[in-house]
Amino acid sequence: MAHLGENRYGKSRVRVMKVIRHDTWHEMKEWSVRVLLHGDFETCFTEGDNSKILPTDTMKNTVYWLARESNAATLEEFAIELVRYLLSNNPQVSKASAEVEEKSWKQVLIDGQPHATTYALAGPELQTTLVTLDRGAEPIVQSGIDGLVILKTTNSAFTGYLKDKLTTLPESTDRIFGTRATVEWDFLPGTTSFADTRTRALTTLLKVFADHDSLSVQHTLYDIGEAILQAVPHISQVKLTMPNLHCLLVDLSRFGQSNPNQIFVPTDEPHGYIEAVIAR
């Protein structure tokens, strides 16, 4: 006989832009929100009884309403407010989660000064958070940066690896190292310094990536994670994903030219995929 297993439902891709109009400048945020609820929903599945179902359209409107009411300075604070609101107003819900992605809009610099009301998208990366709240518990907060595209043109090597009859990759002691990095960190309970953590984690990641004498992607990934843990004492672990954005050296010898590490073909398909968790 069939029975209902673990289930949840919610609303995804709720896009909202908020402009805070200060006297002399405007602050702007663009978020994409996903809300998921766990709870007493079995009869909806098994009997078609919707009496305990909060419509996902209502969840969408809740995001808009709360965005207007909220004084949250960070996406983490907004996500915490959202899950608390949903639990407090829906007794049939046992757990709520809110995932928020924020685009990296930055004020445009005009004559070296931030323009009061004009923004430009700084990069493709997204600022992220996932907040999960069980009824009667404290929020669990995981935050990060998704899709940070970074590249350096030297101080990267890959040698001494396993070779078999299908190996064609030549060893390199000086190669381009590009990646689309994703970093996620887990906050220790009770932590509220979300903005400072994000700044310190990103600053540390970029510094280590730039300065590291890399012997492999794995080598650099670990040192980045270790450095972030040292820089931010109130996170318990860091997960890093660093796929390769390959730059392949072009063979110009057929044209009678040399190629002293100058001309490359950038490609990201197929690519190497490296992922690890670095924990305390």
Nearest one of 48, 69, 60 to 11, comparing CA atoms: 60
Sign of dihedral through CA atoms 220, 225, 228, 233? negative
One of 18, 26, 52, 56 is an active-site residue; which one? 56
56 is catalytic: yes
Catalytically active residues, by annotation:
11, 56, 246
